[in-house]
Amino acid sequence: MTETTFHLRENYAPVADELTAFDLPVSGAIPPELNGWYLRNGPNPRTRTQHWFLGDGMLHGVRLENGRAAWYRNRWVRTESFDAALPPGPDGKPDLRHSAANTHVVNHAGKTLALVETSLPYEVTTELETVGPHDFDGRLATPMTAHPKICPETGELHFFGYAREQPYLTYHRADVHGVLRLSRPVEVGGPTMMHDFALTSRHVVFLDLPLVFVPGGHGMPFSWDPDYPARIGLLRRDDPQGTVRWFPIEPCYVFHTLNAHEAGDEVVLYGVRYGHLWWEGHEGVPGTLWRWRLNTRTGTVHEEQLDDRDCEFPRIDDRLTGLDVRHGHVTTDTSLIRYDLHTGSAAVHEFGPGRTPGEAVFASPQWLIAYVCNRTRGASDLVILDATNPAAAPAATVALPARVPEGFHGNWIADA
């Protein structure tokens, strides 16, 4: 499979129909305390696209209720550009309502938002119906990252938007009620593709890395620039208009951070690191789990690879974002790996032959939930694992009526 066609084949291939099914069959026992919705987003192109990242967004959702799987449904996110491209605005810049909305789905201040990093978010319902673009009452004038962070202490929503023209990066903060209170430019070296960032109790952590906007190439308008310095930036949360302090690091790319936290004079960051990405003439490299220790007293950085297994989709329990979380996990082609970040040990759940897992998220401190492609059935399952003992057999497996294609990110939205 070539880079430009793999996303149209096998379990990457899109599905054609929007379905609804009720009272799904369950093996095992769904924990009765899990009442809510698991929603996951991902590309599902209706026409041939040059790259996986460009397909129309489709949400796949399962409703769990009192120990039963009440329903499954999948729906395209019907953005305002779903049927026809929106023309540029009067200033010649792209209309921020033009969106594939295909990367993530998060809930904050009572709104559920489908996200892609190049546009405004789109509000959707937990029934997967599209409400429309959300611009924070007209206050958001940049795209919104697909990886916002919610502070567990304040309830604030921290996020950023990147652009092809200056200001290349803008940091935003919304309060617990969803009111956008802060927007400020952050100086970076150029039009970098900043996919994710991190949050601690005292700092916002930015990754200014050598993947930059260049029209054309690889089906995406970004390419590796070996002359662009790689660095990590720290902005104090108690001085959000203050100076960002930058720490040079070895060249790399990070799609996804696992977490960050404070440790005395250090800010400790975990993420899945690639040595480079989309570098013309160079072979692709795997992503592996790394740790960076940024010493705010000495200005030095210690970089350390924690595992050599190819992985992606790192997650912690989001209720602990920015704290010294002991456990986090990643997903491989066949397994889920749960790391003890204090001791370095790892536990593995192998899903077995013919089964390929997607990202696993916390439905509660005890339970992990994920879609798993079941090639024997030619469909997908919703699998619930014990987060405290991930090597154990699943607590429950819900047989879905259709295949959930490979996708990106999602969240559990518990009943209020």
User: Residues comprising the binding site for Fe cation?
Assistant: 147, 195, 256, 409
Annotated binding site: 147, 195, 256, 409
| Alpha helix ranges (H) inside 74-219 | none
Of the candidates 243, 227, 229, 247, the one whose C-alpha atom is nearest the C-alpha of residue 302 is 247
Could you identify the residue written with the tokens 């899945």?
Answer: 272
Burial 139-177 (b: 16+ CB within 10 A, else e): ebebbbbbbbbbbbeeebbbbbbbbbeebbbbbbbbeee
CA angle, residues 354, 356, 359, in degrees to nearest 5:
165
Beta carbons within 8 Å of 297's beta carbon, 6+ residues apart = 265
Side-chain-side CA neighbours of residue 211 (13 Å): 22
CA angle, residues 100, 105, 107, in degrees to nearest 5:
135
> Do 415 and 36 contact (CB within 8 A), yes or no?
yes
For residues 58 and 46, what is the distance between their CA atoms, to the nearest angstrom? 10
For residues 240 and 80, what is the distance between their CA atoms, to the nearest angstrom? 33
CA angle, residues 234, 157, 366, in degrees to nearest 5:
100
The count of other CB atoms within 10 Å of the CB of residue 297 is: 8
Structure tokens that stand for 337 in this block: 């790996």
Angstrom distances, CA of residue 34 to CA of 141, 317, 319, 361, 416:
37, 15, 16, 13, 12
